[in-house]
Each structure stands twice: as structure tokens, then as C-alpha cells.
Amino acid sequence: MIDVEDLIALVRNYNPRSNAELIRKAYAYGTLMHEGQFRKSGEPYFSHPIAVAAILTEQQLDDATIITALLHDTIEDTKSTYTEVSSLFGVEVAELVDGVTKLTNLQLSSTESQQAENFRKLLMAMSKDLRVILVKLADRLHNMRTIKSMNPEKQLQKARETMEIYAPLAGRMGMQWMREELEDLSFRVINPEARNSIIRRFLTLQREAGDVVHKITADIRTELEKVKIEADVYGRAKKPYSIWRKMQEKDLAFSRLSDIYGFRVICESVADCYGILGVIHQRWRAVPGRFKDYISQPKNNGYRSIHTTVSGRDGKRVEVQIRTREMHEVAEAGVAAHWSYREGVRAKNPFAVDPAKWIASLTEKLDEGDHDEFLEHVKLEMYSDQVFCFTPKGDVVQLPRGATPLDYAYSIHTRIGNACVSAKIDGIRVPLWTRLKNGQSVEIITAEGQRPQASWIDIVTTGRAKAAIRRSLREEDKGRFVRLGQELARAAFEHINKKFTDKALRTAAKMLGISEADELLARLGSGEMTARKVVETLYPELALAQGDEVQSNRAIVGLAGDQNFRRAPCCQPLPGERIVGIAHRGQGVVLHAIDCPALEEFEEQPDRWVDLHWHSGRHAATNTVSLDLAISNDAGVMGRVCTLIGEQKANISDLKFTERKPDFYRLVVDVDLRDVEHLHMVMTALEAETDVAQVSRVRDVTRKPKG
């Protein structure tokens, strides 16, 4: 355990004017408050706050943050109070300690909806004073370093929470060293076998190839000496988790991985940065598509650097990062550089980002009305790297890695995104699902009357685009979803012989926490909620029996004893849809959906109409429906479509292609289904698939029955 004088010495290394007496006072107060408390390892509990404070000295943070680290658990775990901390150490420290306490009490690994709300609270706490999250990240780092003392189940829960939330948050704040260590510590718990395997392979590689890092570092220094540029050169092997993630993303074996070594060149000026880049590219061959200039286009968290990948010794790829010393300070501390001290005064680093502006960049595009979209956007923002594209006029648009022309369109304006019909990249027309690359020029082509399609949700990457598309779909399709929801709800009520009324719907909506009946119907129609859920909410004792299956020959109620029936091929009605029978001489009764256009020709023949409805209960998946699909012409797409249908417990009984183009296929698929809800499940699954451009139900009046 670090004693108080050693801690003060760590602070005075970068801040000789530090208030040593106040740090001693906080150290003594923390020792007293935590007296008699012990960690799982058996160490005195106060050893943990001291270690957190020591981690924060590495970032050269101010006295208030160091003292907050010493006291961060006092309000939560001891008899200390906010008032007492405020009177002893000032309002600033008390507010910071209180903020850390509130963050600690957030259950960030809970359910999605709770997690979304907790992320909102986390960002609110950060926006008040970002030093709160700096203390919390250091707290989590020390806990992960000492996690072995916890029971295995708790270790796994903490490691997953760290991997999902704290590591990407540290990365988004620019503290890459902390992100890498948090990821690696979590990886050690979540998948120790994979981590050990990578380490063993590294050791084998070093035995076979020698000290590659030392050799390449020496090569770079030699080249810089030739042109008389002074710079420090550092090299290292990448962390095991970083290598594992690359293996998973690219589906590569370890032996086929490239650029597993990283090098940094730290110099004096921006001019030197570009000079060094020229030297490296002259000496080694640059790898196409692996160059990023974050000096001319910095990241939101203030990060500036030039990244390039070259083929080094023996053809091995290595990544080289080139930056000035001031840029390096921001690269190491990230947003925390705003509070860094040097020689007793706040360091004025021109590249340190304003924390308030950084928080604004993270939160400005959030749709405050939807917690799920909020969470989705924050996670995307935290995990993303950037690509920089150009407008036709030469303006730069910054987007996350993996973004598409649709993301680009929505980043300019929601109206442009909604009206987008196609795009050109560097003058060549491309599909909307194309992934953008650095330096490309993008032109969006719009058309009046164009509306967002449901399949776009799976194409776009940014939270802003997803929120805009969902909002538009909800507004434009709400009427259709409400009508479909009514049919689904009516069928579900008929299944249990209950009357479908407005009052029942309003009651169900209230019990489910939904503001109005129409919103409930819209959720039913859009697939966000099942009709079964509504019925079970109102009548739990009469929940639809999963095991009672209606026999195919008893599917219809209202037929005479000697009458047989068949479904009309023009509309292919399904259980759950309102139907009517048309009697055909010698052919029995043909079932039509109540809205089938083919019924018009029987309007003058009322004697042939038979009042029918489906038998209540679970029907067999024997009712064929034809679906019209447009899919991209690409390897594996057809297989994925068939797999998706199979995953919904539906069988493909026939399939035929109706159109073949260089970039897409059009086909009609006959699928055997249980009922209209089953149909909706299949169509929703298909609409969510990236490579399915369109899916619709075939209703062809030319296929009407004769007679």
C-alpha cells in the first residue's frame, strides 16, 4: 500500500505547487472512515482508493481529482456524508465524490431498457464534470487488476460489464492505453484459453523471427538520422485481445495475421510528422487503404496522429503512428488532458479537447423520446472509429467506420436521407449498402415521393440514421400497422372466445404501460409485440394453448357436414384473417380473404356466399402463401434467406426466379405457414436482412379459382 508521502511525491512530480496538506488530510480521513473494512483479498479496504489515486497521478490530474479518488467510496460505504466532505474538503470535491457514488450505484449491466436510462444518467453526470468518469474508470481499472480475489461468477459479470461499457468508453474518451488494458484484463477472465493460446503463439514467433520490434525500431531510427529529423521511436507487439478481435473480424488464423506490431514516432513539429511519413514511405512499401491522417481531420476527442501501415522486414506488415509530443500527450490522456498539470500550472495543450464540447458531440444527435435508440446510438458512438468522406463541393463529412451512403445522406439532413434513391462514389453509381472508405467523394441522388424502407434499418450504421428511419416508418406506416394490429388482435381474441372491444384494448394498453390503444395496435402490426402477449395480459388464465393444434380438416367453422373447402389461390387467406366462402358447384367452398378483389364478380350472386370463420386454436403450418422477394445477387444470399425462413419454423414448398439482373434477383417463394401472425414473423425476419431489398405478399387475381 502506497503511503501518503509517496503519493504526494507522485503528484509533485508534475505539480510542485500541489496542496500537500489537503492530500494528507484526505488520506487520514479516508483511513479513518474505512478502518476495519477489508477487500476480498484480505487487504485493508483503503488500499483500493490509494491505488485509484496513484493511477490518476499517471494522467497528471489536479488535486481535486486525486482527493476525490481517495474519498470516492466514503459516502457510499462509510458513515461519512456529503455535508461532512464538503465542510472538510470543499464543495468541488464533495460534488465529485457524490457524482462517483451515483455512478457506482448505476447497474449498467442490467436489462436493455434500464441500461439505456442508466447510460443517460451516466452522460448527465459526465456533462456536469467529466472528472467523475475519470475517477470511475481508474476505480474499474484497479478492480480489474485485482479481480482474482472475487468468486468466478462475479469475475465474469464484472469482466463483461467492463468489456461492453467501460473499455469502449475509455477508448471514446481518447484513453487508448486504458481501453487496451481493460479489454485485456476482461479477456483474461472471459476467454482465458484463447488469450493463453495467442501468448504461446507470440512466444513461438519471437523464437523463430527474433526480436522483430528491436530490429524495425532500429531501422526507422537509421532512416531518420539520414535526413536529420530528431524523434523518439517506440515499438511493441499488440495486446492479445486486439489480435483476437482482428482474428474474429477477418476470420483469419494467427499465422495469416499481419500488422501485429505497432510503432510510434514522436517528433517536435507537424512539419516533421509529414517529413517522417515521406521517409517511411520511401523506405518501405505502403499498404493501400491503410493510411489515415488524423492531424488534418482530428477525432472528436482531440486525437491527432498519422497512421500508416507498411511492409517491413521480411514482408511483415507493421503499423506506424506519427505525432508531435503535444499530440502524444492528448493521445495518452484523451479528454483528461484538459485537466493535466505541468510544473504546477494547468498544461495549455492546444490539442486538448474541451470536455463540454466533447459531451455535446456525443449527445447532440440523440432521439430523447426513445431509450432503445438512445442506447444504440451511444454504443455505436463509443465503439466507432471514423472515416472521412467529401461532398461534391469538397466539404468533409465525418462518419463512423462501416457507414454507408445512407448514413452520409442522413448526416447532411434528414430530408435528404428520407428522399435518397441512389448514390455515386467517386462518380460511379453504387448500391446503398456499400461501405464508405476514407477519402471518397459521395454524391446523393434524391427523388420526390421516395420514402425510407424497412430494410434500410439494417443497412445504416449511425444512430442518427436509424432513429430518423424508424421515426419516418412509424409516421408513414402507423395507419397500416394499426389496421394489421386490429386483425391480429381480433384473431387472438377469437381464439379464446372473447369479444374484441375498444375497452379491452385500452385496458391492455394501460396494463402494458402504453399510452393509447392505437399505439398498442401499431406495435402489434409492426411486430414489436405479439397478439398473444396482449391476450395473456388480459386473460392469463385463458392463455392460448401452445400444444392444442387444430386439425387441417377442421380448420373452418360454418361449413355444412358434407362440404369440403380449399383456399383461394388469388388471396391465399390465413387463419387470423377475416374470410368468406364462395360455393362452387361440384368443387365445394373456396375461402377468400374478405378484401380479395376477386369477390367483386360474385356481388350479384349472394346465394353463393357462405359465412365462415377460422376455428380457434393453433393451426398446423400447412397454409401456403407466396412471397415476392428482391435480393442482392451475391454469394451466400440465397442460403441466408432460406435459413431465415427455416428459423421461423416455416417450410419452403416451392421457389422460382422471375427476374435475374447483374446486381439483384427477383423470385417468388411459396412458404407453408400457421396463420397471419406466423406470416408477419417471416416477413419481418426477411425485411431485417441486409441483402433483401424488398419482400411482399403475392395476391394475384389472375390466379382466382374457376367456376
Given this model, what pLDDT does residue 378 score? 52
> Over the stretch 561-584, which tens digit does the pLDDT of each residue have?
777 888 999 999 998 888 999 988
Given this model, what pLDDT does residue 311 score? 81
CATH 3.40.50.880 assigned to domain 619-703? The reply is no
SS3 label, residue 292:
strand
Q: Cβ neighbours of residue 298 under 8 Å, at least 6 residues apart? A: 304, 351
Lowest mean pLDDT among 3-17, 335-349, 483-497: 335-349
Is the confidence at residue 271, as pLDDT, over 90?
yes
Is 654 one of the annotated active-site residues of the chain?
no
Q: Return the higher-pLDDT residue of 254 and 665.
A: 665
Structural element, H or E, at residue 50: helix 47-57
Lowest mean pLDDT among 88-92, 409-413, 489-493: 489-493
The C-alpha atoms of residue 580 and residue 590 are separated, in whole angstroms, by 8
SS3 label, residue 232:
strand
Task: Give residue 547's pLDDT band: very low, low, confident or very high (50, 70, 90).
Answer: very low
Which CATH number is 194-346 given?
3.30.460.10
Residues shown for the chain: 707
Is 516 one of the annotated active-site residues of the chain?
no
Mean pLDDT calculated for residue range 624-650:
87
Given this model, what pLDDT does residue 31 score? 92
The C-alpha atoms of residue 599 and residue 597 are separated, in whole angstroms, by 5
Is the confidence at residue 494, as pLDDT, over 70?
yes
Given this model, what pLDDT does residue 349 score? 56
Q: Cβ neighbours of residue 88 under 8 Å, at least 6 residues apart? A: 25, 29
Mean pLDDT calculated for residue range 392-401:
78
From the candidates 43, 58, 77, 223, give the one annotated as an active-site residue.
77
Q: Which of 262, 251, 306, 305 has its CA nearest to residue 281?
A: 306
- What's the Rg (C-alpha) of the chain? 32
Given this model, what pLDDT does residue 275 score? 94
| Cβ-contact 231, 224 below 8 angstroms | yes
Q: Cβ neighbours of residue 242 under 8 Å, at least 6 residues apart? A: 180, 183
The C-alpha atoms of residue 53 and residue 38 are separated, in whole angstroms, by 18
Residue 581 amino acid letter: G
Average pLDDT of every residue of the chain: 81
Q: Cβ neighbours of residue 541 under 8 Å, at least 6 residues apart? A: none
> Over the stretch 249-262, which tens digit does the pLDDT of each residue have?
555 555 555 557 78
Is the confidence at residue 237, as pLDDT, over 70?
yes
Task: Give residue 269's pLDDT band: very low, low, confident or very high (50, 70, 90).
Answer: very high
> Over the stretch 432-484, which tens digit does the pLDDT of each residue have?
888 888 778 899 999 888 888 878 888 888 878 888 888 887 777 677 778 88
Q: Return the higher-pLDDT residue of 75 and 550.
A: 75
Mean pLDDT calculated for residue range 209-232:
87
Q: Which of 578, 670, 580 has its CA nearest to residue 621?
A: 670
Given this model, what pLDDT does residue 248 score? 65
Residue-wise DSSP of 601-620: GGTT-GGGEE--EEPSSEEP
Mean pLDDT calculated for residue range 176-202:
85
| Cβ-contact 334, 175 below 8 angstroms | yes
Mean pLDDT calculated for residue range 581-593:
86
Q: Could you give the C-alpha distances from 85 to 47, 90, 96, 268, 416, in angstroms and in order?
A: 20, 7, 10, 44, 53
Given this model, what pLDDT does residue 90 score? 92
Q: Partners of 389 in the beta sheet? A: 397
From the candidates 58, 76, 117, 219, give the one annotated as an active-site residue.
76
Q: Return the higher-pLDDT residue of 212 and 122.
A: 212
Is the confidence at residue 160, as pLDDT, over 50?
yes
> Over the stretch 332-380, which tens digit does the pLDDT of each residue have?
776 666 556 555 555 555 655 565 565 665 555 444 444 455 455 555 4
> Over the stretch 18-64, which tens digit does the pLDDT of each residue have?
899 999 999 999 999 999 998 888 889 999 999 999 999 988 888 99
Given this model, what pLDDT does residue 405 score? 93
> What is the residue extent of each domain of the chain?
4-190, 194-346, 470-542, 549-618, 619-703
Domains 194-346 and 619-703 are alike in CATH topology: no
How far apart, in Å, do the first and last CA atoms of the chain sit?
93
SS3 label, residue 572:
coil
Given this model, what pLDDT does residue 112 score? 47
Which CATH number is 4-190 given?
1.10.3210.10
Q: Return the higher-pLDDT residue of 378 and 7.
A: 7
Is the confidence at residue 128, as pLDDT, over 70?
no
> Over the stretch 311-340, which tens digit does the pLDDT of each residue have?
866 667 788 999 998 888 877 776 666 556
Total Cβ atoms within 10 A of residue 364: 8
> Over the stretch 666-689, which tens digit does the pLDDT of each residue have?
999 999 998 888 888 888 778 777
